Amino acid sequence: MSDDGPLILQPPDWPRPRGYSNGIAVRGRQIFVAGQIGWTAQGRFDSTRLTGQVAQALANICAVLATAGAGPEHIVRLTWYVTSREEYYAQLADIGVAYRSVMGKNFPVMSVVQVVALMESEAKVEIEATAVVPGER
């Protein structure tokens, strides 16, 4: 592991996952971002589609990170809570496009969990993030 950035942990006999990493090792200052939903800074949902809410939730995470001098490239873990597994799979290609438009080619460790509901009735996704800025303590 170097101080330059994350070390992707990929067992040699495992197939490489698409869109996430199995493990990451990194040193630095840790930043924890609370679950973000797909509403704007004004508390308004501009999209009723899961894909649009994913893009907004990720943008919200990046806005929080920016206040700490960090960006999407520093994210090492995401936990997604979605209200519909079927909607997630039906929009997966579009979600991938939205993800890359906000996150670039950063593929941290990730979990996606279906939940019955989120606290905001219009919310279809909530995403938590952990970021590490290398070389800082």
User: Does any domain span residue 8?
Assistant: no
What is the C-alpha separation between 32 and 49, in angstroms, rounded?
Answer: 26
What's the mean pLDDT in 44-62? 98
Instruction: Share the mean pLDDT of the chain.
Output: 93
Q: What is the pLDDT of residues 77-125, one digit of tens each?
A: 999 999 999 999 999 999 999 999 999 999 999 999 999 999 999 999 9
User: Does any domain span residue 44?
Assistant: yes
* pTM (2 d.p.): 0.89
User: Does any domain span residue 1?
Assistant: no
What is the C-alpha separation between 26 and 6, in angstroms, rounded?
Answer: 5
User: Does any domain span residue 12?
Assistant: no
Q: What is the pLDDT of residues 76-85, one digit of tens each?
A: 999 999 999 9
Q: What CATH number is associated with residue 43?
A: 3.30.1330.40
Backbone angles phi and psi of 100, in degrees to 5: -65, -30
User: Does any domain span residue 56?
Assistant: yes
Helix, coil or strand: residue 60: helix
Contacts of range 16-21, beta carbons closer than 8 Å, 24 or more positions apart: 19/96, 19/99, 19/107, 19/110, 20/107, 20/108, 20/109, 20/110, 21/107, 21/108, 21/109, 21/110
Residues of the domain holding 53:
23-133
Domain count, the chain: 1
User: Does any domain span residue 6?
Assistant: no
Banded pLDDT at 6 (limits 50, 70, 90)? confident
User: Does any domain span residue 13?
Assistant: no
User: Does any domain span residue 42?
Assistant: yes
Instruction: Extract the tokens encoding 80.
Output: 């997604």
Banded pLDDT at 4 (limits 50, 70, 90)? low
